[in-house]
Amino acid sequence: MNLSREVLQSENEIAERVGSLGREITDYYKGQEISLLGVLKGSFIFMADLSRKIKLPAQVGFIEIITSRKTEFLTEIAFNSSFPIEGAHLLIVEDILDTGVTLAYLMQQLQLYQPRSLRVCTLLDKPHRRKVDLHPDHVGFQVPDRHVVGYGLDYQGKYRNLPYLGYVE
Ligand code: IMP
Ligand code: MG
């Protein structure tokens, strides 16, 4: 699979949409503190840009989900235990929501720590691929069922540093 010449969303289009997501989130949580929890590695660029567009007191943390390559069963979930979850307005920041299996699992685990609220912001959504009943609260763009790369998203570890969103084919 190689990088397609086709651009899905340009740098400017992403910046504009991330700005409006920031305003949407700021309005929703008005007057409150929030905890932003990014899912590594794909969300690292989105988090950097989005967090600066949220005009609220916010803590920022990251979590990594370790997936077994052989079985595709989720095996382990790792995060920094000093990150405030109990009693917090927790907003998960994801790169892309595909089948939803990963996020459903993460949300189930996080609920055990009793956040005050738990919501999801995903840059990209592939709604047609969903296998679980999961509706993200804030969505940047809906995308077709193709493998998207760039702006943090990878294909076999590559293309995360592309400044725009594209495809591999
Ligand atoms: P899900 O459990 O099927 O929703 O998978 C979600 C994870 O798979 C995402 O957080 C991504 O890390 C990865 N993923 C799914 N689709 C894509 C894609 O088109 N490009 C890059 N990564 C993807
Ligand atoms: Mg991800």
| Cβ–Cβ < 8 Å for 46, 91 | no
| Cβ–Cβ < 8 Å for 3, 146 | no
Residues forming a β-bridge with 78: 64
Give the residue, out of 96, 126, 154, 162, with the most ligand 1 atoms within 8 A of its beta carbon, to mutate for a pocket test: 96
The ligand whose atoms approach the alpha carbon of 43 most closely is 2
What's the predicted TM-score (pTM) here?
0.94
166 lines ligand 1 (CB under 6 A): no
Express each pLDDT in 36-69 by its tens digit: 999 999 999 999 999 999 999 999 999 988 876 6
How far is it, in rounded angstroms, from Cα 80 to Cα 153?
Answer: 22
Express each pLDDT in 78-119 by its tens digit: 777 788 899 999 999 999 999 998 899 899 989 999 999 999
Atom 3 (ligand 1): residue with closest C-alpha? 99
The pLDDT assigned to 65 comes to 85
- Whether the bond between 70 and the residue before it is cis, its omega within 30 degrees of 0, is no
36 lines ligand 1 (CB under 6 A): no
Atom 13 (ligand 1): residue with closest C-alpha? 96
